[in-house]
Structure 1
Amino acid sequence: MADSWVNSAERIGSDLHLDLTGPGSRRAVLIRALREAVRDGRLAPGTRLPPYRSLAADLGLARNTVADAYAELVAEGWLIARQGSGTRVAPRAEPVRSPRVPEKAAARPAPSAHNLRQGQPDAASFPRSAWLAAARRALNAAPNEAFGPGDPRGRTELRHALAEYLTRARGVRTTPDRIVVCSGFAHALRLLFGGRVLRGPLAVESYGLAFHRHLLAAASVRTVPLALDECGARTDELRSLKGVRTALITPAHQFPTGGPLHPERRVTAVDWARACGGLILEDDYDGEFRYDREPVGAVQGLDPERVVYLGSVSKSLSPALRLGWLVLPDHLVDPVLAAKGEREAWASATDQLTLADFIASGHYDRHIRRMRQRYRARRDRLVATLAARAPHIALTGVAAGLHAVLHLPPGTERSAVEAAARRSIALDGLADFRHPAATMPAPDGLVVGYATPPDHGYEAALEALCRILPPAG
């Protein structure tokens, strides 16, 4: 008897593959196949099976054969049959068998009791109702061609909405035809460097995400660190970096040390790019979440032909949406599209349409304002707790963003990180973000995110954090 697929319209769920091979009668083979489907989880507890007449027709078996198989599995406890609700899979009789893990495979770490890692928004605050309403409106209004092969530039509705929003809220100077939609900041870097639109070496800030450095290294791009101080990146050093014609900076809120780039240094960066025919890559990290300062506009507004503006909704909405954008100088639009390919292979057209409506309807602005208040309250609780419990620990980078840097006494960072791990606290040491070739002083510190813990667990997370901090003096 050959393998078969159950494809009954009356069955709740997707198609189900049943292996109807092996020795024995048809009834015995079917019983064995259904047992195996329950055992390995393909038929989950509570799943309703098709009526035996439908399953018999699907599998080419006699009705009595299937009815007898159901009856046998009910008697054995694999299935339950109730009047009016049909035949369903019983509560799990034995655990689902997990695939065997190779001995050399590393086990996944257990979830931490307190998640204080940077870069993660409050997932519980995703605006589900407003997003669903936007999706309904967008899908009802979408033209038929929106459901065909995607345009690598991105949906025109989203590019128009982004052009209006970025101009209004971030001071970006652009038009929809200079915007290319991507799946996030990392994808933007892959398009620019993996696609050979730009080449290294690339100047980067002395502190940043190691993931981005590894991504660039995989594209054979050498990164050269720029020193940082209280005014941000030392853009005056760009002129002394031989062979460097492209620089990646986070001017709105330096990651992870915090603080905006000083106005004079913004101008210095643009003047350098003009003088050498180079480019500034502007990562608008946390540009929308500011608490104690006036809005800081995008550097791109100073010279749209010398700055590539990169943004996403990974912090403002959710990284699960996988939506970002590049605002490009005119001469880079076609090369980036060539690197991306003839069809959209990354960003969902329906999510793009939904985001376009979400922005155009004003829901995005309202969400940003609501989250700004929420994150500010979280930040204030962190500041107040440390002032009361650990006044010797200085905080920086708290005027904006979703994290703070806690400055520790020299030589105590590693022990604090290890203590956090023992207490199941997920956080990062400042050294984890330092460029390996950086020559500037390396202060000890912790990078603490305050957006992720649930409200009911935030006080406990702050209490646990205070317990792992080194004492005064």
Structure 2
Amino acid sequence: MTELLLPFDPTRDGGLTARLTTALRDAVRQGRPPAGGRLPATRTLARDLGLSRGTVVEAYAQLVAEGYLVSTPGAGTRVADGITPRPPAPPPATTAPAVRYDLKPGTPDLALFPRAAWQTALRRALAATEHSALGYGDPAGHPALRAELAAYLGRVRAAAADPGRLTVVGGVAQGLALVVRRLVRHGHRTIAVEDPGSPGTFGLLRAHGIEPVGVPVDQHGLDVDALAATGARAVLVTPAHQYPTGVVLAPERRAALIGWARRTGALVIEDDYDAEFRYDREPVGCLQGLAPDLVVHLGSLSKSLAPGLRLGWAVLPEPMVEEFRTDKQYTDLGCSTLDQLAFARLLADGGHDRHLRAVRARYRARRDALTAALARHLPAAAVRGVAAGLHLHLDLPPGCTEPAVVEAAAARGVRVDPVAPTRLALPGPPALVLGYAGLTERQLAHAADLLAEAVTEATG
């Protein structure tokens, strides 16, 4: 019989049987005793631990039921064969410098989430909702939210949306994954994407069986002539605020893109990820409004409210609706009904519009603070993409590399993202993507000062 080293203190608070069971389970997981090894008799272990035999018998019986132990009459209790010891804990990672100022793009200021308004909307939705609405609903989304969203997108994004072609999804990521599933089913093996673009999106596309093919982006947006040369029959674009360059797709490029799609029968997928935030004028209308028969419009609450809600929408060309909704049904049976109803209420009573007006003013002030500080401390670095969104594109001055600047900034407690990972194939000058949504104006000014020090060190 293997000696059982069992760290167990019977004087601690809590149920004795539950604590003994946990201690025995942990010992088996750690290979004490190993697979096939015998455990002490119940009377022996009870005497050693100062417990009643019944407590030990019950703990052994629980672990037999779970498959950790095997008990044979006349042969005692042993560890079941096939139990793999838990590997030792990895050594502690090297401590990275503390992040004082996080300029990573992609997340809004979560402290600005309208908790009181959301709580009120949820409470009112619960009070007005029939019990039946809490069951399995329409996988396309609750009718109340689809109606409110269709009206909202028509009013705010100039979309040609109606509830019958709108499906509620778990964020843009799920909407895109469902579109890609359909493309692959219909024989697509590639999809054109903006280059540079989102590395996370590239990974999502590959994970769902389709290969992204890069198309250059210039100061006017996606190069449609280069798109036509790829031979792709689907393209993913961010026309309202391209990631990471911040370029807004020019009117002539919009027309050319729709013309290409109509000539070739291709599908345009529009990721409208942060279009609500335009600072120099009203947000430019969505691409889908120009050609609802050719464009899939994807949007979500990840930037306007919070990514943790996992709520978004897909407005689809009519021929795609049924197949898309079937895929949605067999993916997750639909999104959270309560969250859908709360958001529908927030749209209906104007709470979402009020929230957007408030945070848009905050984000504009933060953008202004960062751009002013960069102009003061890094006059040789060009700033792009300031008209919209929640991030800036900073072209680094000659003589420094992205890794050197990122490392020097991290040593000063400033987290920044390099542009290189956003490029599929096309090289480009060194640059950074700076998110400014989560920091105050004073913090952004100090972060820019520290970043300028990092650039100076990396250049020298």
Fold similarity call, TM over 0.5: yes
**Aligned residue number for residue 135 of structure 1:** 122
In 1: Cα distance, 2:357 partner to 2:12 partner? 63
**Aligned residue number for residue 450 of structure 2:** 464
In 2: Cα distance, 1:114 partner to 1:386 partner? 15
**Aligned residue number for residue 425 of structure 1:** 414
Q: Please, what is the CA RMSD of the aligned residues?
A: 3.1
Contact conserved, 1:253 with 1:286, CA < 8 A, in 2? yes
In 2: Cα distance, 1:265 partner to 1:386 partner? 31
Superposed, 1:50-65 pairs within 5 Å as none
In 2: Cα distance, 1:393 partner to 1:261 partner? 23
**Aligned residue number for residue 237 of structure 1:** 226
**Aligned residue number for residue 279 of structure 1:** 267
Local SS of the residue matching 2:193: strand
Residues 93-116 of structure 1: CA distance to partner in whole angstroms, max 9, x if unpaired? Answer: xxxxxx986438978978622110
Local SS of the residue matching 1:150: coil
Closer, same or farther: CA 337–464 of 1 in aligned 2, 3 Å: same
1:370 is displaced (CA, Å) by 0.9
Decide which of 435, 439, 445 is 1:453's aligned counterpart.
Answer: 439
1:126 is displaced (CA, Å) by 0.5
Contact conserved, 1:150 with 1:344, CA < 8 A, in 2? no
Decide which of 245, 263, 279 is 1:291's aligned counterpart.
Answer: 279
Residues 111-150 of structure 1: CA distance to partner in whole angstroms, max 9, x if unpaired? Answer: 6221100111001111111111111111111222210013
In 2: Cα distance, 1:35 partner to 1:342 partner? 41
Unaligned runs of 5+ in 1: 1-21, 40-64, 66-98
**Aligned residue number for residue 226 of structure 1:** 215
The letter of the residue matching 2:347 is I
In 2: Cα distance, 1:346 partner to 1:426 partner? 37
The letter of the residue matching 2:214 is P
Closer, same or farther: CA 156–239 of 1 in aligned 2, 3 Å: same
**Aligned residue number for residue 388 of structure 2:** 400
Matched, 1:326 2:317: no
Superposed, 1:66-85 pairs within 5 Å as none
The letter of the residue matching 1:225 is G
1:345 is displaced (CA, Å) by 4.0
Superposed, 1:5-24 pairs within 5 Å as none
1:194 is displaced (CA, Å) by 3.4
Contact conserved, 1:191 with 1:340, CA < 8 A, in 2? yes
1:182 is displaced (CA, Å) by 0.7
In 1: Cα distance, 2:331 partner to 2:138 partner? 5
1:224 is displaced (CA, Å) by 1.1
Closer, same or farther: CA 422–264 of 1 in aligned 2, 3 Å: same
**Which one is further off, 111-120 or 264-273?**
111-120
Matched, 1:112 2:96: no
Residues 36-78 of structure 1: CA distance to partner in whole angstroms, max 9, x if unpaired? Answer: 8999xxxxxxxxxxxxxxxxxxxxxxxxx9xxxxxxxxxxxxx
Local SS of the residue matching 2:456: coil
1:210 is displaced (CA, Å) by 1.0
In 2: Cα distance, 1:309 partner to 1:394 partner? 32
Closer, same or farther: CA 35–254 of 1 in aligned 2, 3 Å: same
In 2: Cα distance, 1:111 partner to 1:167 partner? 45
1:421 is displaced (CA, Å) by 2.2
1:414 is displaced (CA, Å) by 2.0
1:459 is displaced (CA, Å) by 4.0
TM-score, normalised to structure 2, is: 0.78
The letter of the residue matching 1:140 is A
1:207 is displaced (CA, Å) by 1.1
Matched, 1:251 2:225: no
1:464 is displaced (CA, Å) by 2.5
In 2: Cα distance, 1:161 partner to 1:261 partner? 28
1:151 is displaced (CA, Å) by 1.7
**Aligned residue number for residue 338 of structure 1:** 326
Closer, same or farther: CA 30–385 of 1 in aligned 2, 3 Å: closer
The letter of the residue matching 1:403 is H
Superposed, 1:84-103 pairs within 5 Å as 102-103=89-90
1:452 is displaced (CA, Å) by 1.3
Closer, same or farther: CA 110–309 of 1 in aligned 2, 3 Å: farther
The letter of the residue matching 1:258 is G
**Aligned residue number for residue 49 of structure 1:** none
Residues 370-427 of structure 1: CA distance to partner in whole angstroms, max 9, x if unpaired? Answer: 1111000000101111122221221000111111111112442221011122223221
Closer, same or farther: CA 105–307 of 1 in aligned 2, 3 Å: farther
Matched, 1:161 2:128: no
Contact conserved, 1:253 with 1:261, CA < 8 A, in 2? yes
Decide which of 160, 178, 182 is 2:165's aligned counterpart.
Answer: 178
Local SS of the residue matching 2:302: coil
Residues 149-198 of structure 1: CA distance to partner in whole angstroms, max 9, x if unpaired? Answer: 13210111111111000000000002101011111111112111235456
**Aligned residue number for residue 123 of structure 1:** 110
Local SS of the residue matching 1:172: coil
**Aligned residue number for residue 12 of structure 1:** none
Unaligned runs of 5+ in 2: 1-6, 24-50, 52-85
1:315 is displaced (CA, Å) by 0.4
Closer, same or farther: CA 210–292 of 1 in aligned 2, 3 Å: same
Local SS of the residue matching 1:469: helix
**Aligned residue number for residue 266 of structure 1:** 254
Local SS of the residue matching 1:252: coil
**Aligned residue number for residue 381 of structure 1:** 369
Contact conserved, 1:121 with 1:402, CA < 8 A, in 2? yes
1:35 is displaced (CA, Å) by 7.3
The letter of the residue matching 1:203 is A
**Aligned residue number for residue 359 of structure 2:** 371
Closer, same or farther: CA 23–428 of 1 in aligned 2, 3 Å: closer
**Aligned residue number for residue 13 of structure 1:** none
The letter of the residue matching 2:101 is H
Contact conserved, 1:408 with 1:470, CA < 8 A, in 2? no
The letter of the residue matching 1:462 is A
1:24 is displaced (CA, Å) by 12
**Aligned residue number for residue 60 of structure 2:** none
Contact conserved, 1:254 with 1:285, CA < 8 A, in 2? no
In 2: Cα distance, 1:396 partner to 1:288 partner? 18
1:348 is displaced (CA, Å) by 1.2
Local SS of the residue matching 2:343: helix
TM-score, normalised to structure 1, is: 0.76
Closer, same or farther: CA 28–298 of 1 in aligned 2, 3 Å: closer
In 2: Cα distance, 1:23 partner to 1:467 partner? 55
